[in-house]
Amino acid sequence: MRLLLILLVLALSAYAPAAFAQNAAEPPGFRVVNRAGGDATQLFAVRSPRGGQGDWGGNLLRPDRPLTEGGGFRVNPAADAGCRFDLRLVLADGREAVLRDQDICVNRNIDLANAGRPTAPAAARPLPVASPASRETPLAQPNQQARQVSTGTGFLIADERVMTNHHVIDGCNRVLLRTPSGHWLAASPPARMDAALDVALLNVPGLVGPALAFRTGPAVRRGEGVVAYGFPLAGLLSSDPKLTRGEVNGLRGIGDNPNQYQISAEVQPGNSGGPLVDMQGHIVGVVVSKLNAQAVSRRTGDIAQNVNFAVQGQAALAFARRAGVQPRVVESTGPERSTADVGEITHRSTVFIRCEK
């Protein structure tokens, strides 16, 4: 009889759902807790950024088993699902609670709270992007009479904190930033700068949004895929940001600089200060320069092709911490994302910088 019961249990377990389950005895996943103020009839958990694109997949709750207020539901993703998830809880009265880009490898218990009425159909909701905190945030406008203007790129590493290159803002009388939502905001002096490293940290009152996370491991390797994101050749090319994919070619920069990487992702003037991210959308560097092909040609008689450099992410992270900012840090584990997905993640936090002199 005991043997018969064991065989029956094994037979039943073979028919358990492979991707998601509610049984606490299933392999460890993460737990979603309903703190939204009522019983929930629908729960969705999909890899980021699918939820922000309106693709929520199927409802994980059974029609006859709503998730009560304070109740928990265990989600066991497939082994290759990665760590970043978008979550959505729908209450019986139609209110919703949504969280995006949650690191379920770090946070195994996620509360879904602050439910409200959806402002638009799910399929029409845009990805969250860095933008003014409220209508009270003072907006700015470019000075069309500025004597001299230069441009660059920056990215959000914490609320109201934007990282860029020192040379992008050096000598500026006024620094303006255009957010992904299209608003102009003014940086508030003074900026924190490290001229030798060529990085700077801007204070931008009212700018909030998803901040890019710095990668803390594993160590970056030669040949690893990376994506550069920014605003090259402003005024000549279109005003929207550009994405280029390449590889880490060398673990030191020009002149054997230990604080830089050499990369093959193509960059142009205007890319300076932009994020260099790995194939999970985590910061591994800050784009800083390209080799002067004309100068090299005069010296060697040959034309250098696609030799570019970025400040190493760990050096930039250490600078941010010295400046009193504690950015989000993560390990890059799990499968790589597509280049398009990495671009979507990076776009939300990348800003155009206008330097007026």
Active-site residues, by number, are: 167, 198, 272
Q: Which DSSP symbol is given to 356?
A: E
In Å, how far are 162, 280, 314 from 264, measured between CA atoms?
Answer: 25, 18, 20
| 331 burial type by CB count under 10 A (0-12 exposed, 13-18 middle, 19+ buried) | middle
The answer to whether 194 touches 318, Cβ cutoff 8 Å, is no
> For residues 243 and 230, is the Cβ–Cβ distance under 8 A?
no
CB 161 within 8 A of CB 325: yes
> In 10 A of CB 158, how many CB atoms?
17
CA gyration radius for the chain? 23
Give the Cα separation of 189 and 186 in Å (integer): 9
Is there a contact between 348 and 120 (Cβ–Cβ < 8 Å)?
Answer: no
Contacts of 5 (CB under 8 A, 6+ apart): none
Q: How far apart are CA 244 and CA 80, in angstroms?
A: 26
Query: 87 with 47: CB under 8 angstroms?
Result: no
Residues 132, 51, 278: CA angle, nearest 5 degrees: 75
The DSSP secondary structure of 26-53, one letter per residue, reads SSP-EEEEEESSS-EEEEEEEETTTGGG
| Strand 225-230 to 242-250 pairing | antiparallel
- CA distance to 43, 59, 163, 196, 230, per residue, from 272 (Å): 42, 44, 11, 15, 8
